[in-house]
Structure 1
């Protein structure tokens, strides 16, 4: 046994000597590195057997920092961690979800390696430029030194994030990301056709080819917008003319439970709530003008019931909102001042070419207002498709800056909850907003004086009274109402 041990020790000495000689024979390759990797020799088996060695390398640890995600955001709230210390991650794997006062963003890894440290707890505030996690990488030390030993360079938002809808990731190679960046394309707007939804170069080129002046929202593949068959209760509600949110299915009513606390609780205002504080304080500096009216939707109820089956056969839920939005866009063509914005000092008016019509949406994250881009170029069915997509993103908490920014005109569907009238508040820099009440079957007189049941919806408008007078708001409302009360008239002006 003693002889075997001596042989093993001799073998170990030979290995160390050979490594040292190799270093001396190539002095130009031997240099000090901050993340020098030291081999560790492990004894395996019985001493009476020949020696077995295995080398375990400790990789360099990189501080993965929160890069600039745009929109002037300097801090975010960590909403959820998808990893824990000791977990192995690969490039594009989700690390955490953060929320700013503008949008929720999923941060993904740039490296292959192992998570060694999490710098924040859930609901803690993370700062741009500060470390999120430490990752023990599998790359060589020279590569890490070149890339990110000290600081992670600021990258475009799409290089760090993806949106997950029904388990699909938005992924792209560095070459594709560079192509998208050079053409000012957001990867979140491109539908990937590669493996696991990866965005390919062809997808970017096809997206460019489909552009018509402004960037249009993508249409999800048919299988991604399939909806479950509506329940009998949902069909009954639709037949009664109730206005629902533009979602794939009508959400179940929320159960409100009483909350009892033993002491006062104080917590900071952050996330979307903080954004609401800023927006409403700015909005209430605007002198509001209010106008209310009612719309008889009896003909639209009949038309929608006829088209609903066709739309659902194509995998899209057709609510009333696409008609309301398209009618508003047609009206804005005649009254472009309602689709404008003014500067902070109200010295200049900018008339917007695109009709990016927002929809106030009640989500688990609070009140959000995503918008449908370029409504003036979309059909009613295409608007319904986009509303389905936005509602799916809202339900998943994945509405991003792309969906939430750039609005030019807003409709708030308070009737989906049960309201009749509202006093909507303008979202600056927009200059007008409408609030839609619920549809009620009420008695009305027809042209011959007969009493008939009618599907009536109340609408409340608010406008910036610095640049919009009451007559303009009234004429726009009358035109919008005419399109909805006689939907056949919309066909004459559809493009």
Structure 2
């Protein structure tokens, strides 16, 4: 009786297509399977004993190694910053696989095939070498393509692919924005993107969240440190019983972290790039020059244009004016918009003014650049700066934005300080550092003391090819454009 029951159960199971079985606890060993089930065996004592089995589908796919190919600029290794998939996940073409960080930019790796992830070769923060596999993907045999061509690497700036399709088109958003939406249970289909081609930005998610929750987002105004007003005697400006109260801004200092023991870790990404660049910069003999600029007229002009720019959806700071004035000055002094080779045997005068802006980000110091400033208006520069700042804050700047610079400005004054000693970024030959804007007393044209908006500037130039007189004349011209903004109109192309 018991023998008949067992044989009958196995006979039924064997008829199931492409399934084989494992029995546990005194059951004959059969081929391996993947999902678990159970059946009963009737013993001579009449009791029912439960036996478990496991089933799997036999794979007919082809496993292809997905290799990391050369992403340009001589990059030989990258750091894996985040995985968007895990083993067993199904992926489609153009789905994001992972995000990697080189010493120049963040890059999102996307899939070329439809298939299943079978193996991840690296963990987060591991170093991946160019030419080595990132993942193994199991695909159908009918798919065309060679395993050696299975790498699609997309700079996060130029191609942003998402998994969500809405009415035939894909919602464009960076992985960081998608994570922010997921953390706040926001559907990207409900958010209106204000970026280029409808791309959803971090600000769009925050604004959408504020509307849903009624929260008030913090104002992100100009990061200028106000200067305390000039003190006057109490007998002239105040009553004896009411002394003036001066408030000072307090900087938010990061909380100290006590590890309890020393910690050693390798330099990676942007820090590793700084080592190479700064070491090369030590070979350059710099010439330093400092001056101050009266920005009183520029402050008035910006106040007039600020509302108009905001109505067009652009935040207008002082930096677009500084960059445009530098470009106009470079037209008169092309020596400063040049580069020299490693042995300083040849100098190349650059046709385009690709002016870089040193930017402090959570990932470290980066210097993206605005391309062809000589062809852009102040408004165009403001639009491009907003794009670079948003991408830099989220760590999504691409290689194209971080390379090709010809001249650099560092707005160190947005954090603090008046004068600096900027380090030249080879192969460029000049750089400027802008101090904080201060309201100080100055003599006007009539000899009276008046309130003035003063900013200091510090220049460094490669003294092998740039003499002090050239740097001084350029600084004077740049200053004249900013002190009398209307004069820039005469030289606009």
TM-score under structure 1 length normalisation: 0.74
Counterpart position of 2:329: 331
Q: Distance in 2 between matches of 1:71 and 1:98?
A: 15
Q: 1:122 aligns with which of 113, 118, 124?
A: 124
Deviation at 1:103, TM superposition (A): 1.2
Query: Which segment is superposed worse, 357-366 or 267-276?
Result: 267-276
- Residues 13 and 346 from structure 1, CA distance in 2 versus in 1: closer, same or farther, beyond 3 angstroms? same
- Whole-angstrom CA distance in 1 between matches of 2:114 and 2:199: 32
Q: CA deviation at 1:80?
A: 1.3
Residue 196 of structure 1 corresponds to which residue in structure 2? 170
- Name 2:370's counterpart in structure 1: 372
Asked if the contact 2:294–2:483 (Cα under 8 Å) also holds between the matched residues in 1, the reply is yes
1:87 is displaced (CA, Å) by 1.8
1:220 and 2:220 correspond = no
Could you tell which deviates more after superposition, 61-70 or 271-280? 61-70
| RMSD between aligned residues | 3.7
Q: Which has the higher helix share?
A: 1
- Shift of the 45–236 alpha-carbon distance from structure 1 to 2, 3 Å rule, reads closer
The gaps in structure 2 that reach 5 residues or longer are 19-30, 41-54, 163-167, 173-194, 211-215, 229-249
Asked whether the 8 Å contact 1:39–1:57 carries over to 2, the reply is no
Hey, what's the Cα distance between the residues in 2 that align with 1:402 and 1:456?
Answer: 35
Report the CA distance between 1:143 and its aligned residue: 3.9
8 Å Cα contact 1:74/1:127 also seen in 2: yes
**Residue 261 of structure 1: how far off its partner (Å):** 2.6
1:241–1:301: 8 Å Cα contact kept in structure 2?
A: no
User: Does structure 1 retain, via aligned residues, the 8 Å contact 2:359–2:365?
Assistant: yes
How much does 1:57 deviate?
Answer: 3.7
| Equivalence for 1:455 | 453
Aligned residues: 411
Closer/same/farther in 2, CA of residues 303 and 224 from structure 1, 3 Å limit: farther
Q: 1:449 to 1:134 in 2, by over 3 A?
A: same
- Aligned residues of 1:220 and 1:389 also touching (Cα < 8 A): no
Q: What is the rounded CA distance, in whole Å, between the counterparts of 1:66 and 1:233 in structure 2? A: 42
Aligned-partner SS, 1:160:
strand
8 A contact 2:356–2:370 mirrored in 1: yes
Change (3 A) 1:114 1:284: same
Structure 1 counterpart of 2:384: 386
Asked whether the 8 Å contact 1:164–1:170 carries over to 2, the reply is no
Matched, 1:309 2:307: yes
Question: Is this contact kept in 2: 1:444–1:451, CA < 8 A?
Answer: yes
Give yes or no for contact 1:62–1:136 (8 Å, CA) kept in 2: yes
- The 2-side partners of 1:241 and 1:488 are apart by 27
Superposed displacement of residue 302, structure 1: 0.5
Contact 1:322 1:383 in 2 (8 A): yes
Q: Given the alignment of the two structures, is residue 169 of structure 1 paired with residue 192 of structure 2, yes or no?
A: no
Instruction: Kindly name which structure, 1 or 2, has the bigger radius of gyration based on alpha carbons.
Output: 2
In 1, the alpha carbon distance for the partners of 2:303 and 2:444 equals: 22
1:74 aligns with 2:67: no
Q: Distance in 1 between matches of 2:309 and 2:298?
A: 15
- Deviations along 1:264-290, whole A, 9 cap, x unmatched? 211111111111000001011000000
Q: Which runs of 5+ in 1 are unaligned?
A: 17-37, 48-52, 172-193, 199-218, 243-251
SS in 1 for 2:450: strand
Q: Which residue of 2 aligns with 1:361?
A: 359
The whole-number CA distance in structure 2 between the counterparts of 1:359 and 1:170 is 28
Distance 2:36 2:478 in 1: 82
Q: Is the 8 A contact 2:224 2:414 kept in 1?
A: no
Q: Which has the higher mean CA deviation after the structures are superposed, 320-329 or 61-70?
A: 61-70
Q: Give the Cα separation in 1 of the matches to 2:373 and 2:332.
A: 15
Aligned match of 1:294: 292
What is the TM-score normalised by the length of structure 2? 0.74
Q: CA deviation at 1:472?
A: 0.3
Deviation at 1:486, TM superposition (A): 0.2
Match of 1:403 among 401, 404, 407: 401
Q: Give secondary structure in 1 for the equivalent of 2:79.
A: strand
Q: Distance in 2 between matches of 1:39 and 1:260?
A: 52
Alignment-derived partner of residue 351 in structure 1? 349
| Equivalent pair of 2:289/2:458 in contact (CA under 8 Å) | yes
Alpha-carbon distance between aligned partners in 1 of 2:462 and 2:83, rounded to the nearest angstrom:
43
SS in 1 for 2:383: helix
CA deviation after TM superposition for structure 1 residue 40, in Å: 8.2
1:408-467 deviation digits (Å, cap 9, x = unpaired): 000000011012110000000000000000100000000110000100000000000011
User: Does residue 1:160 correspond to 2:153, yes or no?
Assistant: yes
Determine helix, strand or coil for the equivalent of 2:170: helix
Kept after mapping to 1: 8 A contact 2:80/2:124: yes
Matched with 1:102 is 104
SS at match of 1:437: strand
Quote the Cα distance in structure 1 between the aligned partners of 2:262 and 2:38: 63
Alpha-carbon distance between aligned partners in 2 of 1:69 and 1:115, rounded to the nearest angstrom: 22
